[in-house]
A and B are shown apart, each in its own frame.
Chain A
Amino acid sequence: MTQTLITNAILIDPEAGTEARGSVLLDGASIAAILPDGNGGPAPKAARVIDGGGKHLAPGIVDIGVKVCEPGERHKESYRSAGLAAAAGGVTTIVTRPDTLPAIDSPEVLEFARRRANEAAPVNVLPMAALTKGRLGREMTEIGFLMDAGAVAFTDCDHVVQDTKVFARALTYARALGALVIAHPQEPGLSAGAAATSGKFASLYGLPAVSPMAERMGLDRDIALLEMTGARYHADQITTARALPALERAKRNGLDITAGTSIHHLTLNELDVSGYRTFFKVKPPLRSEEDRHAVIAALRDGLIDTISSMHTPQDEESKRLPFEEAASGAVALETLLPAALRLYHSGDLDLPTLFRALSLNPARRLGLPSGRLAAGAPADLVLFDANKPFVLDRATLRSKSKNTPFDGARMQGRVLATWVAGANVYEAE
């Protein structure tokens, strides 16, 4: 086995919540040893030694909810382009969404997606499958077969299963198989047609808007169904202050529930849409600054577990439209880490807390061995310079679609190198 030693790095350990100078010894696809500086022992001999340059080394990001547009819309994003973008962003595992055309709702389509992923992507790709056929909310998919075929979770993405009986049965069936169900908490009657969050800003801009209460109502319903069924549940994006007390209660009551949030809701607010900039149109819509702060606090306290990119490629045509008609979503694989580091630079979150949400918690929730900086864990790592400033130029993104809200934004923090299963899949020039 070839051994590689990464020395002279600041090791971020999200499990222990610590940062310390040291080295990491890789053996093949795994981490063989963590070697803090000054422990007195002799440096191990390795075939290859990489100088970390005093920069940060962390477990690679596990990103739940990445849209790769295969099958159906490969011109927007392929497994190849998404994989390259992920590697450049320090994302070592992408957990893909089934909201493709057609939806990934049968073992056959899942098989196709997995084959394409394995051929083309340099990072780990784990597929999710739809919870209901065609994501239509009527009949559940073949959850058992899909799990056998490699589905790691079940979700209808931004479609809410409106029929509570259908959803309750799907949750019950999923529980028996130990399947994780990921849902989008939202009251669809209230949110129908909305392009913004209701309030002064949306009213002045004349945009159809949804009350932030719709998220809490959706979450309240789902929590009641969890009490009924005992299923394993993850809320894809919690973005409002009003939803947090319900989440806190559900966790305290011992339900098997976790929650994520998106990088855009952590770093942007509703005012960013001003001038009708469609690259800032995401789903759910960007919230108020008060909501953003509440979500950051919930992340710090561990109430919200994970941060996702919610990477959603859209071509120029679907964004160059009046705001109401424009498609929702933003690409974010490459900007996830630099954007998340804004929360570090602003003093809101320290780096171990950030990587708990980016790497450790998502991996744990999916039962993966990754997300940790420990002997025996997969050698999925990211080396980054937390301070390096740059101005983002969307033309340089590796994604086929360039719909980022951060075009022209000043960012601080760049990925220097990424390893997946011990293989160096990205190195900055």
Chain B
Amino acid sequence: MSFDHAHLLGIEPLAPRDITTILDLADQYADRGRSAAKYGDALAGLTQINMFFENSTRTQASFELAGKRLGADVMSMAMQASSIKKGETLIDTAMTLNAMHPDLLVVRHPHSGAVNLLAQKVNCAVLNAGDGRHEHPTQALLDALTIRRAKGRLHRLNIAICGDIAHSRVARSNIILLGKMENRIRLIGPPTLMPAGIAEFGTEVYDDMKKGLEGVDVVMMLRLQRERMDGGFIPSEREYYHRYGLDAEKLAHAAPDAIVMHPGPMNRGVEIDGELADDLRRSVIQQQVEMGVAVRMAAMDLLARNLRSRATTETVMA
């Protein structure tokens, strides 16, 4: 098992082999998470700092738990409330934290590319927990693991991603990951919420949801941000729900055993019918949350192995 990366900044730099490596290890952690022996020591003695420059409850909690289950010392910083308000730049903040010698830095930032910038300035492993509209790699990995466990494979599936593609880093990372693993991807949503140049993405694009869902194996719903609901991108919440909200009637166009996914938090009655979201025969939304912890444990474990082997090499060289 090899994973030759210093950071996890996105799906884009990963090879299919890397993705399989993470998912295989995460699979073990997921099984262990259901047993009594859920704690390990892969990150014992290491310091993990979570820096969230943008609100997050779920992702931050998931990373925190993942670190703690592997024995890391975990510190979470709500950066919105801190030095940023005092005018400190991102790089200065990074340098300050770097001086405290963390081993793992988990970063979320509202601007695309900010995590890449930060990774250039520190000498620990950086994990991207979402940067602007760019990437959210651990979300795509947990989605992949959920699909693999539910469908028994992660290739040659028909997968529909529905909703606000334009503003979604979850969609980007998923399009890249599922493409690398050789699946057929359909993007469904109103044209105002499709990114420019979409035709060159190697995906099929639909603005009619029923046609788009025809025969698919996986339906991924995306969250519609509140600020996009009124007039600017779509006429209204209720028209959106009528045309693009997932309900039993629209889902009937998908394959009979199609699974329903959502990265959360859900807007019930906006992008997804509440009852459908809770239907355990179709919805794997709770599994996604569970796999989130497992995937983050695996990613941090693999990065920490690289940190340790690098440290050993340096000692030997010295």
Interface residues of chain A, those whose CB is within 8 Å of chain B, are: 198-207, 209, 211, 275-276, 317, 320-325
Contacts and interface: CB of A to CB of B under 8 A. Distances in A.
- Counting chain A CB atoms within 10 Å of each CB, the highest count among B133, B135, B166, B200 belongs to B133
A323 B169 CA distance: 16
Contacts of B191: none
Given A200-B201, A206-B133, A276 B196 contact: no
Given A200-B201, A209-B196, 7 more contacts: A202-B196, A203-B166, A207-B113, A211-B196, A321-B89, A321-B90, A322-B132
Contact of A320 (B91, B131, B134): B91
A323 B113 contact: yes
B265 interface: no
Contact of B89 (A202, A203, A211, A320): A320
Contacts of B89: 317, 320-321
B223 interface: no
Contacts, number: 69
Contacts of B196: 198-200, 202-203, 209, 211
Nearest to B132: A206
Contacts of B109: 322
A202 B196 CA distance: 8
Interface string B114-143: 101100000000000001111100000000
A203 B197 contact: yes
Tell me what chain A mostly uses at the interface: helix, strand, loop, or mixed.
Answer: loop
B190 to A, nearest CB: 16
Interface string B77-106: 000000000000111000000000000000
B198 A276 contact: no
A206 B135 contact: yes
Interface of B: 12, 89-91, 109, 111-114, 116-117, 131-135, 166, 169, 172, 195-198, 200-201
Nearest to B118: A322
Contacts of B91: 320-321
Contacts of A320: 89, 91, 117
A206 B131 contact: yes
8 contacts: A200-B196, A200-B201, A209-B196, A275-B116, A320-B91, A321-B90, A321-B117, A322-B90
A276 B201 contact: no
Nearest to B165: A203
